[in-house]
Structure formats: structure tokens, C-alpha cells
Amino acid sequence: MNIITENITITNEVLTLTNQRAIHWKKQDALILSDIHIGKTAHFRRHGIPMPDDILQKDLERLKLLINHFDVDKLLIVGDLFHAETNSDMDTFKSWLHQFEDLNLVLIKGNHDRQSKHLMDNLKIEVVNRLDLDPFTLLHEYEEG
């Protein structure tokens, strides 16, 4: 996989955009992604929709390459880390996650993220409704008011 980058500056913050649907924020030592939807393969198959076998593996491999490429301490998922109910894909993700023991994973809750607090605690994922990191606010869906 080839990672192509382009730096942009917003309110004096340098962000690195990638062709892999991720943003690197060097000042925060963070990688920002959204809508990964782990569990979609097992969910669709359970409901009779054929899915290729390698979707989850390709997503996790892409994520691993990005984490290693940018050598970040934080992974900020802006909603929909998971797709639906707990299923076999969660076990695959949990096993995969063990290689990143020092990675701080924060999930800004999205409309698909309905997993139990117990699961999130077990995976060592901090779950928040929004994340304020000056000068940005990260949230999955716009909040009125």
C-alpha cells in the first residue's frame, strides 16, 4: 500500500491528509479516522448479504500501516468504529489490537457505536461523545444548540 500525503494548515495547525482516509495531526501525535465499521462483514453475512472474506483483514492491515507509518501514540476514531452488535469480527479486532499495547484509542461515539461499556473497557477504548482538542472539536454528528 502506498501512502500519499498532503499537508494543510488550518488555524495554524498543520494536518497531514492521506489517500488512505486518515489525517495525521503531528502536534497531537494522533491519527484521525472515522467510519471503520468493524463487524460489517459478519453482520451482513448474518443477514444473507454475501461479503468478500478479506474486507476486515484489509481494513486492519491499512490501519496498521498508517499507525506504523506515522508512529503515533493516539488513534482518534470519529464515530462508527463498529458497525452493529458484537460478532466474530470483534474477536479478530481484539486480537489485532494486542500488537498496539501503548496506543491510546479514543472513540468519539457514532450512530453505529452501540457496544457495551464492558466491551469498550475490555478493549481499553475510551469512549466520548465529543472531543475538544483546541482549536478543533471532533464529533460524529452535528449537535444542535
In-domain check, residue 123: yes
In-domain check, residue 31: no
CATH number where 131 lies: 3.40.50
pLDDT, residue 81, reads 84
The count of structural domains within the chain is 1
pLDDT in tens, 129-138: 999 999 999 9
C-alpha cell at 3: 501512502
pTM, 2 dp:
0.86
pLDDT in tens, 41-66: 666 667 787 777 787 889 899 999 99
In-domain check, residue 92: yes
Residue 130's domain comprises 36-138
pLDDT in tens, 75-129: 999 988 875 666 677 888 889 999 999 999 999 986 656 665 677 778 888 999 9
d(CA 134, CA 100): 26
d(CA 67, CA 49): 31
Sheet holding 125-128, edge to edge: 5-10, 13-18, 23-25, 30-33, 74-78, 104-108, 125-128
Candidates 63, 55, 138; CA nearest to 100 is 63
In-domain check, residue 8: no
